[in-house]
Amino acid sequence: MSNTYPASDEFVADAHIDAAKYEEMYSASITDPDGFWREHGKRIDWIKPFTKVKNATFDFGNVDIKWFEDGTLNVSANCIDRHIVTRGEQTAIIWEPDDPKAPARHITYRELLEQTSRMANVLKEHGIRKGDRVVLYLPMIPEAAYAMLACARIGAVHSIVFAGFSPDALANRINDCQAKAVITADTAPRGGRRTALKSNADKALFDCSDKVKCLVVKHTGDQTTWVDGRDIDLKAEMAAASPYCPYTEVGAEDPLFILYTSGSTGRPKGVVHTSGGYLVYAAMTQQYVFDYHDGDVFWCTADVGWVTGHSYIIYGPLANGAITLMFEGVPTYPDAGRFWEVCAKHKVNQFYTAPTAIRALMGQGTEWVEKHDLSSLKLLGSVGEPINPEAWNWYNENVGKGRCPIVDTFWQTETGGHMITALPGAIPAKPGSATKPFFGVVPEILDPATAEVQTGTAAEGVLCIKESWPGQMRTVWGDHERFMETYFSQYKGYYFTGDGCRRDEDGDYWITGRVDDVINVSGHRMGTAEVESALVAHEAVAEAAVVGYPHDIKGQGIYAYVTLMNNVEPTEELRKDLVKWVRQEIGPIASPDLIQWAPGLPKTRSGKIMRRILRKIAEDDFGALGDTSTLADPSVVDELIDNRMNRA
Ligand code: WT7
């Protein structure tokens, strides 16, 4: 039995959902999904109310997912306009800049309406229409929120590219979704340093159609190049634009955004989320999972470049009329107390971050936490990877002071919102377990080999979802076949998460990590195939195999086995060069932590690389390599073990 941590009686008394309510609502959501979501679909404003609720099939070959399909709405109006009468002067967004000495900003719902409208009008003037794609490559600044909501306002589809991605990665995404415009900024301050976003965008646009416009937020005022006729000074045009823009009516199933994410094969795929179901799901999970109450200050530390930022900085909180905090900086600048300083400064009530950040701060000692008044905190959240017991305990004791429930939220870019998570007033936390499914979510554990459903309470296997939920992705942009192939082909009739999972005797779920060739580096998802193709694109590299290995802070580190071209000398110089190369090709988050020179890779006689063996060696756990007799040349394994880079 693992320890469980129920919320205090006071917390439960005030919570939206207690244990009895969870049971009742969960059961209703499963036995009568149409009735349940017909009711909860009303939490947002519809222009034309829906009459149909759920219409989804997971049948391989015919996968088709629709929610509220005959309803119409506008997402921006739901996140802004409908709050104007009741809370126009209330803060919508608290913006905390990178530099702690620079002033924070409080943006009211009224101001959000004006700025979003101005930006929407600028987009319209430059020919952006309903259905057009706009790529956002921005720092964590209010303009990022305005840009998302401005696109939504006119029915355009945004696709945010994390500002840490390289020009190449940016160009690939602009081209894949055939964006008409890119919105970027001059430079992005983070941790006291600056990333040259505009200059990266310039490089990217070199590889794109010359029709793509570049709207530039002059944020720092740093000098940039300027291409007349293509580059647009966004703030200047916003100042001159009309302060009101009417919103466009869109269908529930019209796309709201595309977000590229890594898979086990090929290039990142454009995950498509649509308008109605996504918004209902993001808003409902934000309210219930974080037990958000009117007037609370909610802080999700993610970047808007990831889905967590979409659902829990922007869409969920704003649809609920919440106060959401947006932070431009990093947890360790100017010192390791910055998160806690910001919590104290803005009296944050719910704080949501990733285990990798907790582990990094844990290593700096508790004095950084103790310096700041954290009495405003009511709840803590975790996301991105399983949280290890040391990090959980540290978070609970030092940040939550033992009185804040912790919600460990399992979900994915594809799921739009939380899937398996405690509801703080209803389900006691169990360190390391994401605990129970959210309303409408039907998890099943399947045997990875036979695809048999594990019916016992205690079970282990791969995690699949049996029924659609409103926040689910609808397709891969431009490639529905790939959508079906990736998520619905391996386990017929199910959505396959790609994660391994255990269910304990209490029916609580424990995510055990990816079972495919996707690794989780600091809570960021990376396809090993992507890193490999970046490496082999280097002239010195003949072949590369990439695996994850346990890393104290990042969760998983990137371990690359590299076979060099015949005449190339393996030097320290070249190793550094390869790291730099991958950073340039993909971005800093893909930098290999360890590169091992591999004269040969373990392959089957048919030439397939045996990653299982490479993973074991990278884990420094080569005692149990399993059967190596099917290898074409078993001797390469000894060589790799002798020269392994990770020695615990
Ligand atoms: C993968 C999804 C949407 C969250 C941010 C990452 C892992 C995510 C947890 C958790 C254990 C988790 C899974 C999942 N993951 N949250 N609470 N416990 N694992 O989104 O980049 O789409 O990655 O992150 O492996 O499949 P993502």
The Cα 95–Cα 419 span in angstroms is: 28
Ligand 1 atom 2: the closest Cα is on which residue?
412
Amino acid at 88: G
SS3 state of residue 539: coil
Share of the chain above pLDDT 90, in %: 94
CA of 460 to the centre of ligand 1 (A): 18
- The DSSP code for 455 is -
CA-proximal residue: ligand 1, atom 17 (nearest): 410
Q: What is the ipTM of this complex?
A: 0.99
**Which of 525, 528, 554 has most ligand 1 atoms within 8 Å of its beta carbon, as the pocket-test mutant?**
525
**3-state DSSP of 35-100:** HHHHHHHHHCCCCECCCCCEEEECCCCCCEEEECCCCEECHHHHHHHHHHHHHCCCEEEEEECCCC
State how far the Cα of 426 lies from the Cα of 403, in Å rounded to an integer. Answer: 15
Q: Is the pLDDT of residue 265 over 90?
A: no
Ligand 1, atom 24, lies closest to the CA of: 384
How confident is the model over 81-115, as pLDDT tens digits? 999 999 999 999 999 999 999 999 999 999 999 99
Residue listed under structure tokens 């554990």:
445
Separation of CA 16 and ligand 1 centre (Å) = 25
CA 298 – CA 312 distance, rounded (Å): 9
Rounded to the nearest angstrom, the distance between the alpha carbon of 253 and the centre of ligand 1 is 25
Q: pLDDT above 70 covers what percent of the chain?
A: 100
What band does 2 get if pLDDT is binned at 50, 70 and 90? Answer: confident
pLDDT, one tens digit per residue, over 199-217 is: 999 999 999 999 999 999 9
Alpha carbon separation from 556 to 251, 252, 523, 597, 623 (Å, rounded): 41, 38, 9, 20, 21
- Which two three-digit tokens encode residue 585? 């090709």
Helix axes 635-642, 611-618, angle to 10 degrees: 20
Ligand 1 geometric centre to CA of 520 (Å): 8
User: What's residue 433's pLDDT?
Assistant: 97
Atom of ligand 1 nearest to the CA of 307: 3
Q: So what's the pLDDT on residue 633?
A: 86
Outline where DSSP puts E strands in 193-330.
193-195, 213-217, 231-233, 250-251, 255-261, 269-274, 297-300, 323-327
Residue 608 has what pLDDT?
86
Q: What is residue 549's predicted lDDT score, i.e. its pLDDT?
A: 96
Where does the pLDDT of residue 629 fall: very low under 50, low under 70, confident under 90, or very high at 90 and above?
confident
CA 393 / ligand 1 centre spacing (Å): 20
Q: Residues near ligand 1 with C-beta < 6 Å?
A: 261, 307-308, 383-386, 408-413, 434, 497-499, 511, 514, 520, 525
pLDDT tens figures, 20-75: 999 999 999 999 999 999 999 999 999 999 999 999 999 999 999 999 999 999 99
Q: Check the annotation: does 536 bind a ligand.
A: yes
Tell me the angle at which helices 109-125 and 142-154 cross, rounded to the nearest 10 degrees. Answer: 60
| 86 marked ligand binding residue | no
Binding site annotation covers 522? yes
Rounded to 10 deg, the angle between the 33-40 and 19-31 helix axes is 120
- 642: CB partners within 8 A, 6+ apart: none
185, 141 contact by CB (below 8 A): yes
Q: 472 Cβ partners below 8 Å, 6+ apart?
A: 56, 65, 277, 414, 415, 416, 495
Residue 266 confidence class, pLDDT cut points 50, 70, 90: confident
Residue with tokens 């550094």: 576
Q: Would you give the distance in Å from CA 11 to the centre of its chain? A: 29
Confidence check: pLDDT of 1 > 70: no
| Pairing status of strand 459-465 against strand 406-409 | unpaired
- Nearest CA-CA partner of 324 in 361, 297, 289: 297
pLDDT at 604: 86
Residue with CA closest to ligand 1 atom 5:
384
State how far the Cα of 214 lies from the Cα of 233, in Å rounded to an integer.
9
**What pLDDT score does 623 carry?**
82
Judged on CB neighbours under 10 Å (0-12, 13-18, 19+), 583 is middle
What does the alpha-carbon distance between residue 318 and residue 613 come to, in Å, rounded to a whole number?
A: 47
State the distance from the centre of ligand 1 to the C-alpha of 385, rounded, in angstroms.
Answer: 5
The mean pLDDT of 528-553, rounded to a whole number, is: 95
Residue corresponding to tokens 């519809």 = 46
Helices (H) and strands (E) in the chain, counts: 22, 30
Locate tokens 């285990």: which residue?
355
Residue 72 and residue 428: Cα distance in Å, rounded?
38
Q: Are 345 and 104 in contact (CB under 8 A)?
A: yes
Q: What is the rounded average pLDDT of the residues 354-358?
A: 96
| CB-CB contact of 67 with 55 (8 Å) | yes
The rounded mean pLDDT for the chain is: 96
Mean pLDDT calculated for residue range 601-612: 88
Task: Give per-residue pLDDT as tens, 498-524.
Answer: 999 999 999 999 999 999 999 999 989
CA 482 to CA 268: how far, in whole Å? 11
Closest atom of ligand 1 relative to the 387 alpha carbon = 18
- Sequence-distant (≥ 6) Cβ neighbours of residue 506 within 8 angstroms: 430, 457
Q: What pLDDT, in 10s, does the model give residues 285-327?
A: 999 999 999 999 999 999 999 999 999 999 999 999 999 999 9
Asked whether residue 263 carries a pLDDT value surpassing 90, the answer given is no
- The confidence score (pLDDT) of residue 137 equals 98
Q: Do the bridges between strand 255-261 and strand 157-160 make them parallel or antiparallel, or are there none, so unpaired? A: parallel
| Across 455-476, average pLDDT | 98
Specify the pLDDT at position 607. Answer: 84
Tell me how far the alpha carbon of residue 473 lies from the centroid of ligand 1, in angstroms: 15
pLDDT at 598 over 70: yes
DSSP 625-647: ----TTBS-THHHHHHHHT-S--
Please give the Cα distance from 646 to 648 (Å, whole number): 6
Q: Return the best residue to mutate from 281, 304, 353, 383 for the ligand 1 pocket (most ligand atoms within 8 A of CB).
A: 383
Q: How confident is the model at residue 630 (pLDDT cuts 50, 70, 90)?
A: confident
Q: What six digits make up the tokens of 393? A: 């305990």
Cα of 591 to ligand 1 centre, how many Å? 20
**Higher per-residue pLDDT: 401 or 612:** 401
Cis bond upstream, residue 243 (ω within 30): no
Does the annotation list 359 as a binding residue?
no
HEC profile for 438-482? CCCCCEEEECCCCCCECCCCCEEEEEEECCCCCCCCCEECCCHHH
Q: Look at residue 572 and give its three-state secondary structure.
A: helix
Ligand 1 midpoint to CA 567 (Å):
42
The answer to whether 72 touches 47, Cβ cutoff 8 Å, is yes
Grouping H, G, I as helix, E, B as strand and the rest as coil, residue 488 is: helix
Rounded CA separation 552/567 (Å)? 36
The ligand 1 atom nearest the CA atom of 420: 17
Direct distance between the N- and C-terminal alpha carbons of the chain, in angstroms, rounded to an integer = 30
R_g over Cα of the chain: 24
pLDDT tens-digit profile of 240-256? 999 999 999 999 999 99
pTM score > 0.90 for this model?
yes
pLDDT digits (tens, 9 = 90+) for 562-596: 999 999 999 999 999 999 999 999 999 999 999 99
Q: Which atom of ligand 1 has the smallest separation from the CA of 524?
A: 21
Atom of ligand 1 nearest to the CA of 525: 21
Do 113 and 92 form a contact (C-beta atoms < 8 A)? no
